[in-house]
Chain A
């Protein structure tokens, strides 16, 4: 039987605030354990939480960017459960009245646009962090750090519209791009600012009903997300094929083994007894508040992608790659502004040249070094400067690769590199003629063959001259002079 996977993602996003959701403790990552705590976030009796307005603003901003409907009336609820990382014994969250419903994210796969619907976006607070004994001190104990407890989160829940691990990865990529564009989160997956759980089930192709789902947790990179989903889908299909049944449960992804493992400890007593949080008053969001936030929205990735295609004549693929990150898109546009040469190529021709360099050398070196574009050695000034050196004939396109490599390694300007390394293209005809004459003298047989009618040998001579000049001779000049010397 043929099966299709049905996937929905629950994404937790740490909001970019200085202080916690309900108290004034810092949200700074990597502080000493239990340093960023106060009676409110360690759950002392008699304290009163107060909502951080910025956290609400950022959630509204996200809801607008994802085209959701924003609820005019909001309130928080208590979600009750016992776990050592949860000091109060309940998490303050939103339940039956989330801040936003509906909305969607567009993904592009193989040139097709697909909409993944959003069920809801709600606000909540994070829990603390547990370190297990084998990693610190006594192996029969666990250690609790409350610094993260109370940090503002929003949870973005998708509809079960995702049909493959690739779609899931693309959804996360687009979601992250939007969150970064609107600057509501730093989206650092290693530090846990962006976390993803997946609800996965499989069903026979053509079936309208959903199969029993499992919830997969602990996928803290895009690669792990894809691997975990691939494993889980195969596991479920194999189970069904062998006549087994899928159990509704939570499963942890083990990145070392590449498998998902049943997590039985938390299964019992999933009875959260939600009720309205009595310590917090409701939030009413009116249209004025919404419009104030809407006015702060920047150009979003989809709009930028369309503009890059329209204004710069870029292929869809280039526009997609360049706009995945706001910083890369900014780098690209800075290059365009700085390059801006009065050539017959026009803005579109120039844009494609820059796009090729950014998608090629720039993204490759960034990836190799694990750098972000903000800390990148080769500034837009340097890249544009190098392209100008090609245009005015100082260097050849081939030498440019060497210049780029040097800029990247040393951070020096292209002009300095060309001077220091003696990479200036030889356009002086007498210097080129000298090399050509040497080549002619060294290859009498080829010269005779060429004169005998083997025109194609010209590429051999060009190659020899370029080699002798260490790639510095101007190819157009070489071509022109070679023909002259060979026929004279």
Chain B
């Protein structure tokens, strides 16, 4: 399966990645090779096999609805934040309206 430069650009956009032209060409080739390899699976007849979303045969694992504080002191959740202010994570301005 051949991946176009346009598709590479779309995937990069979804992952918020900025690629140079050289990278786009290189990744297009590498990703195409990976997809071609994976495509071999399509040769198998899987029409009678349930799609597997989980490898373990377990189900219905729940917790009770009880509150527990895991971050003890104030500010723990922000300790890795690159920027913070007044208890909030501070991020570049998000524009909601056009």
Q: B59 — which chain A residues lie within 8 A by C-beta?
A: 281-284
Is B93 within 8 A of A51, CB to CB?
A: no
Number of interface residues, chain B, beta carbon within 8 A: 38
Q: A140 — which chain B residues lie within 8 A by C-beta?
A: 92-93
Query: Which of A24, A130, A132, A282 sits near B63, CB closer than 8 Å?
Result: A24
Complexed CA–CA distance, A269 and B58 (Å): 35
Is B66 within 8 A of A19, CB to CB?
A: yes
Query: Which of A18, A51, A141 sits near B91, CB closer than 8 Å?
Result: A141
A-B contact pairs, 18 of them (CB 8 A): A24-B70, A32-B87, A33-B87, A34-B77, A52-B64, A52-B65, A53-B63, A56-B62, A75-B54, A132-B94, A141-B85, A142-B90, A143-B85, A144-B89, A265-B94, A276-B53, A281-B61, A283-B59
| B47-81 CB contacts (< 8 Å) to partner A | 53-54, 56, 58-71, 74, 77-78
- Given A33-B88, A35-B74, A138-B90, 13 other A-B residues pairs in contact with their CB atoms under 8 A: A23-B70, A25-B67, A25-B69, A35-B87, A50-B62, A51-B61, A52-B63, A55-B65, A83-B94, A133-B93, A261-B98, A263-B96, A284-B59
Q: B56 — which chain A residues lie within 8 A by C-beta?
A: 281
A105 part of interface (Cβ distance < 8 Å): no
Give how many A-B residue pairs fall within 8 Å (CB-CB).
144
Complexed CA–CA distance, A145 and B10 (Å): 30
Q: Which of A37-45, A208-216, A300-308, A394-402 contacts B (4 or more CB under 8 A)?
A: A37-45
- CB closest residue in chain A, given B78: A34
| A274-327 CB contacts (< 8 Å) to partner B | 276, 278, 280-284
Number of interface residues, chain A, beta carbon within 8 A: 59
Taking Cβ atoms with an 8 Å cutoff, the residues of A that contact B are: 17-19, 23-26, 32-35, 37-39, 42, 50-56, 75, 80, 82-84, 130-133, 136-146, 252, 261-265, 268-269, 271, 273, 276, 278, 280-284
Is A136 within 8 A of B66, CB to CB?
A: no
Is A24 within 8 A of B96, CB to CB?
A: no
Complexed CA–CA distance, A142 and B86 (Å): 12
- CB closest residue in chain B, given A131: B88
Complexed CA–CA distance, A156 and B51 (Å): 27
Is B54 within 8 A of A278, CB to CB?
A: yes
Is B65 within 8 A of A54, CB to CB?
A: yes
Query: Which of B68, B87, B92 sits near A34, CB closer than 8 Å?
Result: B87
Is B85 within 8 A of A19, CB to CB?
A: no
B16 part of interface (Cβ distance < 8 Å): yes
Is B74 within 8 A of A142, CB to CB?
A: no
Query: Which of B67, B89, B92, B98 sits near A18, CB closer than 8 Å?
Result: B67
Interface class of chain B by DSSP: loop
Complexed CA–CA distance, A139 and B95 (Å): 11
Query: Which of A39, A136, A263 sits near B70, CB closer than 8 Å?
Result: A39
Is A130 within 8 A of B94, CB to CB?
A: yes
Is B67 within 8 A of A26, CB to CB?
A: yes
Is A19 within 8 A of B96, CB to CB?
A: no
Q: A264 — which chain B residues lie within 8 A by C-beta?
A: 98
Is A38 within 8 A of B70, CB to CB?
A: yes
Closest 7 CB pairs of A and B: A276-B53, A54-B65, A143-B88, A53-B62, A264-B98, A38-B70, A24-B68
Is B53 within 8 A of A75, CB to CB?
A: yes
B23 part of interface (Cβ distance < 8 Å): no
Q: B89 — which chain A residues lie within 8 A by C-beta?
A: 34, 84, 143-146
Q: B70 — which chain A residues lie within 8 A by C-beta?
A: 23-25, 38-39
Complexed CA–CA distance, A138 and B86 (Å): 11
Is B65 within 8 A of A17, CB to CB?
A: yes
Complexed CA–CA distance, A262 and B95 (Å): 12
Query: Which of A55, A56, A269 sits near B14, CB closer than 8 Å?
Result: A269
Q: B67 — which chain A residues lie within 8 A by C-beta?
A: 18-19, 24-26
- CB closest residue in chain A, given B64: A53
Complexed CA–CA distance, A415 and B14 (Å): 72
Complexed CA–CA distance, A33 and B81 (Å): 14
Q: A131 — which chain B residues lie within 8 A by C-beta?
A: 88
B45 part of interface (Cβ distance < 8 Å): no
Given contacts A265-B95, A273-B14, contact A137 B86 (CB under 8 A): yes
Is A137 within 8 A of B87, CB to CB?
A: no
Complexed CA–CA distance, A264 and B98 (Å): 6
Query: Which of A18, A141, A261, A263 sits near B65, CB closer than 8 Å?
Result: A18
Q: B68 — which chain A residues lie within 8 A by C-beta?
A: 19, 24
Q: B60 — which chain A residues lie within 8 A by C-beta?
A: 281-284
Is B98 within 8 A of A269, CB to CB?
A: no
Complexed CA–CA distance, A141 and B94 (Å): 7
B97 part of interface (Cβ distance < 8 Å): yes
Complexed CA–CA distance, A37 and B69 (Å): 8
Is A141 within 8 A of B66, CB to CB?
A: no
Is B74 within 8 A of A276, CB to CB?
A: no
Complexed CA–CA distance, A271 and B10 (Å): 10
Q: Nearest Cβ in chain A — how far from B76, in angstroms?
A: 8
Is A24 within 8 A of B66, CB to CB?
A: yes
Complexed CA–CA distance, A282 and B61 (Å): 8
